[in-house]
Amino acid sequence: MLSSCVRPVPTTVRFVDSLICISSRSFMDLKALLSSLNDFASLSFAESWDNVGLLVEPSPPHTVNTLFLTNDLTEEVMEEVLQKKADLILSYHPPIFRPMKRITWNTWKERLVIQALENRVGIYSPHTAYDAAPQGVNNWLAKGLGACTSRPIHPSKAPNYPTEGNHRVEFNVNHTQALDKVMSAVKGIDDVSVTSFSARIDNEEQTRISLNCTQKALMQVVDFLSQNKQLYQKTEILSLEKPLLLHTGMGRLCTLDESVSLATMIDRIKRHLKLSHIRLALGVGRTLESQVKVVALCAGSGSSVLQGVKADLYLTGEMSHHDILDAASQGINVILCEHSNTERGFLSDLRDMLGSHLENKINIILSETDRDPLQVV
C-alpha cells in the first residue's frame, strides 16, 4: 500500500514542474519579439509608401504574453483586445497611416492610440510586407485556386546591393602607364572597392580595373579619370541594380495545372474565402463555361498591381469601375470579393506559422469581432 501511494508523487511533481516551465516561457520582451517578427517577414518587403512596423509602443520595458491578430483595428476590436488582456496587437492594416497632428478623443483613430497607451498595449502592422512575403497573404489567396504554379507579378528587390556601392566603373591601364599610381589613387577614395585582372586587348597586355563605389565616390573617381584622357575615353560606368528576391513581391500570376470553367473557379474561391456571394464582371465574349488557365490575383485593392497583366481572370478585393471596364474589354473576367475578405482568412494560417516560428513562447489569438465593413443585404 505504501509503494502504491508513493508512485503518483513523481508524476504530480513532473506535471507541476511542466506548468512552471510553460509559465516561465509564456512571454517575450517586445524588442525580441519584433526582431523575430522581422525574421519571419522582413519589413523591407513593404512598399515605400506604406506605414509598417511598430506604430504604438508602451514605455519600456514591455513584455508580451498575448499577441492579438486582426485584419483591421476598429474600436470594437480594441474592446475585444482589452477584454482579452492582449499585450501587442498585430493589425494587418496600419491603423495609423496619415500623420496625426494631435492625439485627442475627437476621432476614432486617435482614441485607439489613447486606449493602447493607457492600457500598455503595443500596435504593430506588417501590411504590404506580408503581401510580398513568400508565405504571405497573396500566397494564401492563391491556395484557393487549386493546383498551380505561381510567381510574383511585381518581384521585390533585395534591400541592399550585393557589393559595396551602387555603381561600377571599369577601365584598362596599359602596362606602360603608371599602374601603381592609378591603383593607389582609386584605393585612396572612400567607399570604393577595387579589383584588377590581366586582359589582352589588340594583342597588347593590359590590366583591367573594376571598382564598385557609391554615388558620392563616383564623382571623385570620374574627376581623377578625367585628368587622363586615355583612361577617361575608355571608361565604362554602370549603374547597378539590387537583385530580385525569389518568390517575393506584389500579386501572384498563377498558372493552373489543369484548366477549369469559370463557374468551377467561382465555387473554389467562395469556398476558400467562406463567402456566399462575390461580384463578377464577365470579359467580353466570355461565359460561366469559359475556361480559366491563368489567374492574376492581388489581395486587397488590385488595380495598380493587375493593370496590363495578361490572364483569363483577375481576382482581387476591389478595383475601380474603369479598370474593370478595361479588363473586361480585353476578355478578362474580374472577380471582386471586397477588400478585406481577400486578406482576413490568412490570419488563421499566420497564427499557426507564428506559433511555430516563435516556438510557442507566447499566446497568439485571433479577433472574433474583426470583419469586412461591407455586407450584401
76 annotated to a ligand binding site: no
62 annotated to a ligand binding site: no
Is the backbone peptide bond immediately before 61 cis, with ω within 30 degrees of 0? yes
What is the pairing mode between strands 204-213 and 148-157?
unpaired
Q: What are the phi and psi torsion angles at 266 (to 5°)?
A: -60, -45
343 annotated to a ligand binding site: yes
Query: HSE-up of 291 (CA within 13 Å, CB side)?
Result: 6
d(CA 220, CA 211): 13
Residues in the chain: 377
Asked if 132 and 249 touch (Cβ cutoff 8 Å), the reply is yes
Which residues neighbour 321 within 8 Å (Cβ) at sequence distance 6 or greater? none
d(CA 184, CA 367): 63
Which residues neighbour 71 within 8 Å (Cβ) at sequence distance 6 or greater? 91, 92, 93, 340, 343, 344, 347, 367, 370
Question: Tell me, what DSSP letter sits at residue 58?
Answer: P
93 annotated to a ligand binding site: yes
- The CA angle 34-97-68, to the nearest 5 degrees, is 40
Asked if 316 and 332 touch (Cβ cutoff 8 Å), the reply is no
302 to 27, 50, 153, 277, 316: CA distances (angstroms) = 38, 15, 11, 19, 6
Q: Which residues are known binding-site members?
A: 93, 131, 339, 343
Q: Which residues are known binding-site members for a divalent metal cation?
A: 93, 131, 339, 343
